[in-house]
Amino acid sequence: MTVFESKENINKSVEEVYAFLSDFNNHKQLMPEMISEWHSSVDEASFSIQNMAKLSLQISNRISNTSVIIVPGSQVPFHVEMRWLVADMGDNTTEAVLTVSAELNMMMKMMASGPLKKLTEHQVSALKNTLS
């Protein structure tokens, strides 16, 4: 299993950060510019990645004010899971951690590692900028 992780401290309550992350309609604001054709509901999202593929994601589990787990909504070439964890750091500050776990063979790891790491970094940065 290959794991990519990024975290940021956000000057919002854990309740506000969790509420934002638990609704897939808000996730469009966290996506890089190469994402198009975004369609979402509270629980699911589908979109296209420029010059690559069309993807579907769904929220598989929510633990109030703690975590949101996202999995593919359709068949993908490898198992992948995105896990947002939020923790109350006191003083109206929340630590948000995005972990992407993927089962990648050596060839896929060479191709996907850079983009997946950039995705985790981009999303936590965009979360902080969006909620600040």
Q: Is residue 19 part of a domain?
A: yes
* Residue range 97-104: mean pLDDT, rounded: 93
Examine the pLDDT at 9 and tell me if it is beyond 90.
yes
Q: Is residue 55 part of a domain?
A: no
Q: Is residue 34 part of a domain?
A: no
Element spanning 34, H or E? none
CATH number, domain containing residue 114? 3.30.530.20
Residues in the chain, total: 132
Q: Is residue 50 part of a domain?
A: no
* 105 CB burial (10 A radius; 0-12, 13-18, 19+): exposed
Residue 98: the pLDDT is 97
Q: Is residue 54 part of a domain?
A: no
Residue 132: the pLDDT is 85
Element spanning 65, H or E? none
Which percentage of the chain shows pLDDT scores above 70? 98
pLDDT in tens, 10-19: 999 999 999 9
Domain ranges, residue 120: 2-23+62-131
* Residue range 65-79: mean pLDDT, rounded: 88
* Residue range 89-104: mean pLDDT, rounded: 94
pLDDT in tens, 44-64: 999 988 766 788 999 999 999
Examine the pLDDT at 84 and tell me if it is beyond 90.
yes
Number of structural domains the chain divides into: 1
Q: Is residue 95 part of a domain?
A: yes
SS3 72: strand
Q: Is residue 43 part of a domain?
A: no
Residue 24: band (very low, low, confident or very high) from pLDDT cuts 50, 70, 90: very high
Examine the pLDDT at 77 and tell me if it is beyond 80.
no
Q: Is residue 117 part of a domain?
A: yes
